Amino acid sequence: MTSKAEFLARIRTEMAKTPGLFTAAPAERPAQPRQRLDILRRELSERWPQMLERFRSEFERVAGVFHRVPTAAEVPAALERICRERAVRRVVTWPAEKLGVAIAPALGAAGIAVESMPHASVPDTERDRLRGTIAAADLGVTGADLAVAETGTLVLVSAAGRPRSTSLLPPCHVAIFDRAALVESLEQVGLALEAWHDGPAPPERGAVINFITGPSRTADIELTLTRGVHGPKEIHAIFVDGGLARHD
């Protein structure tokens, strides 16, 4: 039987065979992160097409399904096609003000049941009902606060009207975003996180920031890769060229 010391020694031996690619060190926390993020966004606005193409490539590499529409007016039709192809009957969504586009009227007219999340905190009994509704839904629709080009990652911040369960419980997740969400790297995500936490937090902000890179995967059981055990087994991203409505 292998002892703990022997097991750890074998790991150290194997790790020593390949030198690290770089020396790891904590990054310095940026001063005035909000101002620096504003400057960064102005710089990124000049090269968003290249960022979007890299995001698409990396997103599809991790088994995401990428869609692109010219304007927000085309988003409901794109969602309806996704629903029809997957026989979706029940959809849960962030409210229109959080998405930047209204989707419920068009999907409802197509015979798809849509429930939007409430804007404010609700009593425990209503929270339990909503959690059950989300768990029973076929598809969850959210926005995205950031879309990271180098990894194909979507970053979602929880808040009132933006429960994390919308992106975690339904078997299919669709995120809608525009060029304002695009960043190039995880380093730039770090700057955004510093800016978001610079000063007092908005009262409606939740406690969770989700990083979503492709569908849920696990290989814990006999090293067999399985999707959808710890989250959605399918994830889509809809990019809107013409931009989404902003509600500050």
CATH of the domain at 130: 3.40.50.10420
Let me know if 159 is exposed, middle or buried by CB neighbors in 10 A (0-12, 13-18, 19+). Answer: buried
pLDDT reported for residue 138: 97
Residue 20 lies in a domain: no
Q: Is 138 exposed, middle or buried (0-12, 13-18, 19+ CB in 10 A)?
A: middle
Tell me, what DSSP letter sits at residue 209? E
Task: Give the strands of the sheet with 182-183, arranged side by side.
Answer: 182-183, 146-148, 153-159, 205-212
* Residue 93 within any structural domain of the chain: yes
- Give the C-alpha separation, 91 to 112, whole Å: 7
* 189 touches 37 (CB < 8 A): no
Q: Is residue 11 part of a domain?
A: no
90-112: buried (b, 16+ CB within 10 Å) or exposed (e) per residue? bbbbbbeebbbbbbbebbeeeeb
DSSP 173-208: EEEEE-GGGEES-HHHHHHHHHHHTSSSPPTTEEEE
Handedness of CA 109, 176, 164, 62 (dihedral sign): positive
Q: Bridge partners of 238? A: 67, 176
Is 16 among the domain residues? no
Domain assignment of residue 166, yes or no: yes
Q: How many domains does the chain have?
A: 1
CA 40 – CA 169 distance, rounded (Å): 34
Residue 9 falls inside a structural domain: no
Structure tokens, 43: 């710089």
Per DSSP, the three-state class of 210 is strand
96 within a domain of the structure (yes/no): yes
> Residues of the chain whose pLDDT is less than 70?
1-2, 219-225, 227-230, 247-248
Beta bridge partners, 205, equal 159
Q: Is residue 23 part of a domain?
A: no
Q: Residue 229: its pLDDT value, please? A: 65
Give the per-residue pLDDT at 177. Answer: 98
Say what the pLDDT of residue 223 is.
65
Query: What is the pLDDT, as a whole number, of residue 219?
Result: 65
Q: Which domain holds residue 158?
A: 31-240
At 125 the three-state DSSP class reads helix
pLDDT of residue 237: 98
Q: Kindly state the greatest CA–CA separation across the chain.
A: 65
**Which pTM was predicted?**
0.85
